[in-house]
Chains A and B, each alone.
Chain A
Amino acid sequence: MLRFILRRLLQMVPTVIAVSLLIFIIFSVVPGSIASSMIADGRGANDPELIERLNREFGLDRPVHVRFGDYIWNLAQFDLGTSFRTRQPVTELIGERIWPTLKLAIAAMCVAIAIGLPLGFFAAMRPGSLLDSITMVGAVSGLSVPQFWLGLLAMYLFALTLGWLPSFGYGEGGLRNLVLPALTLGVGPMALLARTTRAAVLEVMSTDFIRTARSKGMSSFRLVKWHVTRNALVLIITTLGLQFGSMMGQAVVVEKLFSWPGLGSLLIDSVGLRDIPVVQGSILVLVLCFLVINTVVDVLYAVIDPRISHG
């Protein structure tokens, strides 16, 4: 098992290299620079000399291949460069922001699992029932509602109207500030999870081995506990992993909306300022999170399903 995990981790290396390359290429062809963005928001005069000085200072006057060499060399030493804006090392900036993002994503995932999984399960146990219909209508709505709209609605209702929760910000990092963003981020995955779970359980219930289990004379409770759950989990885990991964991306919107000091807000702010090292670093870290989650899913798979060889 350990070797299996190690191998999966090693397999991540080429992906990471490819992704860093792609990120670099994208940001060396996008128009605009830190200098032009400063001019655009009026913090700098449109002075060719100043622009040239800035470009020289940040090394932007060097040819692309030299910059790329630098970038890769630094990356190999886990150095993501220095922010154009704050002159802080990018790793430091990201280090401050990663925990709030992870906290948000994990909380949202917990919401999604705690509600979506049981709902899908019970819906599948009684297909066609009222609970089933309500759950599925809810799931479709949950999937089609835009996140920013849902976030605004939640803010309006729970923060402004009822005054139960703070409407935005990180506060002291406590639970109260976490609730609204986590709910907003969690609704989509919750809906998808409810649907996937329902489909997975129904699929398992129609298999031959469930018929065998019935012929053994077990109650529905034992049928589910002994034979359905694990097999359904095999099917559900994939969705779970993909959702967690794509949630890292969706967090960008929700963080911005709730002024949550995470990687997403950092990314958006840095894009606006053409603070390329921070943008590159943030994206790379988000991709890394995605890859790590995928690996964790693969390992979980191998733990749950004996048919997957560890060899």
Chain B
Amino acid sequence: MSGTRALLEVQDLQIDIVSAKHRHNVVENVSFTIDHGETFGLVGESGCGKSITALAMIGLLRSPLVISSGSIRFRDRELRGLPERELRKLRGNRIAMIFQEPMTALNPVSPVGRQIAEMFVLHQGATWHEAERKAVEALASVQVPAPEQRVKSYPHEMSGGMRQRIMIAIALACKPDLLIADEPTTALDVTVQAEILKLMKELCSARGTAVLMISHDLGVIAKMCRNVGIMYAGHLVEQRPVEAIFRSPSHPYTNGLLNSLPRLGSRGIHGRKRLQEITGVVPSISAFPAGCRFQPRCERASALCATTQPDQADLGDEGYVRCFHHG
């Protein structure tokens, strides 16, 4: 394992939707790195391109979505253009993924134990017999009670939280270097949400697994991550350590996200502010504005913003922002 280089390096990633007539840009100029064992957060409202970015990391983008340019280096190896056979060896094995919907992400007609066991058969050449035994251990490791019996259960016999534990067991089965968690707790109750996040954090830090944590909720990210990227309409508009983001949000969009966050803290008790939604919605990919993509919803927007895309401005604390009028 190389200790010096980052685990995952994404450089100027661009993803387009290509049809016979049109080519729409979905994700542009996205760069970030994740070190071994680091947890990196990707935040933005729904429809900002987070899931698409995540799928690109494991080569699972399907037509009409294509990676048009940029590079994705994983353990010093370029994933773009890697043959499908090679990608398959990485998927699930070195880079695993958890999805948002625990209700539909598992095969309804296959016992959960078998769905975990598949991982050992696929990547460790285990026999089904060995794999089923290891599946029991994997279930125990995600704190599912009575794992010997539970392996025989079907997904519909379990709660959402329990299914997400199964997903975690599957994802971590082969001790991957990187876990991509795409809104893993969005569909769950708040209490269950906290349990699942705690479990993920414990398991990943114990095994040294790096995490790309995706959420629309800065609160979730705050609990998990060191560095955060704020994504808006396919652009990374601000990228900084999580404390810096909370202390002094720079981009107006980050500011908006923070203000819409319910907080139990001193400021909340003094009734300083009501929760503020950012007005407007994320534009659809066919209607991205010229210039800064956030400008139509931005209080600070000027004439310049409507015509020119802002460059990356360094902020000193290992972070940057893309805004002409950053705070």
- A residues lining the B interface (CB < 8 Å): 207-209, 211-219, 222, 226-227, 230-231, 234, 304-307
The reply to whether the CB of B225 lies closer than 8 angstroms to some CB of chain A is no
Give the distance in Å from the alpha carbon of A53 to the alpha carbon of B22 in the complex. 84
Beta-carbon contact of B58 and A304 below 8 Å: no
* B130: min CB distance to chain A, Å: 17
Spot the interface stretch: B96-104, B233-241, B251-259, B262-270. Answer: B96-104
* A164: min CB distance to chain B, Å: 44
Which chain B residues lie closer than 8 Å to A304 at the CB level? 109
Asked, given contacts A209-B107, A227-B110, A306-B109, whether A215 binds B58 with beta carbons under 8 Å apart, the answer is yes
Give the distance in Å from the alpha carbon of A297 to the alpha carbon of B60 in the complex. 37
The reply to whether the CB of B170 lies closer than 8 angstroms to some CB of chain A is yes
- B residues lining the A interface (CB < 8 Å): 58, 60, 87-93, 96-97, 99, 101, 104-110, 118-119, 122-123, 154, 156, 167, 170
Asked, given contacts A218-B88, A226-B110, whether A307 binds B154 with beta carbons under 8 Å apart, the answer is yes
Beta-carbon contact of B101 and A217 below 8 Å: no
Q: Closest residue to A209 on the B side, CB-wise?
A: B107
Beta-carbon contact of B156 and A307 below 8 Å: yes
Beta-carbon contact of A216 and B91 below 8 Å: yes
Which chain A residues lie closer than 8 Å to B87 at the CB level? 217
Asked, given contacts A208-B105, A222-B122, A306-B109, whether A216 binds B170 with beta carbons under 8 Å apart, the answer is yes
One of A207, A212, A217, A231 near B122 (C-beta < 8 A): A217
Give the distance in Å from the alpha carbon of A209 to the alpha carbon of B156 in the complex. 13
Beta-carbon contact of B118 and A226 below 8 Å: yes
Asked, given contacts A208-B99, A215-B60, A217-B122, whether A230 binds B92 with beta carbons under 8 Å apart, the answer is no
Beta-carbon contact of B99 and A305 below 8 Å: no
Which chain A residues lie closer than 8 Å to B119 at the CB level? 216
Beta-carbon contact of A209 and B92 below 8 Å: no
Q: Closest residue to A215 on the B side, CB-wise?
A: B97
One of A207, A216, A230 near B118 (C-beta < 8 A): A216
Which chain B residues lie closer than 8 Å to A207 at the CB level? 104
One of B101, B106, B110 near A230 (C-beta < 8 A): B110
Beta-carbon contact of B105 and A212 below 8 Å: yes
Give the distance in Å from the alpha carbon of A218 to the alpha carbon of B109 in the complex. 18
* B240: min CB distance to chain A, Å: 29
Q: Closest residue to A231 on the B side, CB-wise?
A: B109
Give the distance in Å from the alpha carbon of A280 to the alpha carbon of B106 in the complex. 50
- 11 pairs across A/B with beta carbons < 8 Å? A209-B105, A209-B107, A212-B105, A212-B107, A215-B60, A215-B97, A217-B92, A217-B93, A234-B109, A305-B109, A307-B154
Give the distance in Å from the alpha carbon of A226 to the alpha carbon of B114 in the complex. 10
* B306: min CB distance to chain A, Å: 38
Beta-carbon contact of B156 and A217 below 8 Å: no
Give the distance in Å from the alpha carbon of A231 to the alpha carbon of B118 in the complex. 17
Give the distance in Å from the alpha carbon of A200 to the alpha carbon of B320 in the complex. 48
Give the distance in Å from the alpha carbon of A212 to the alpha carbon of B92 in the complex. 9
Residue among B58, B96, B108 with the most chain A CB within 10 A? B108
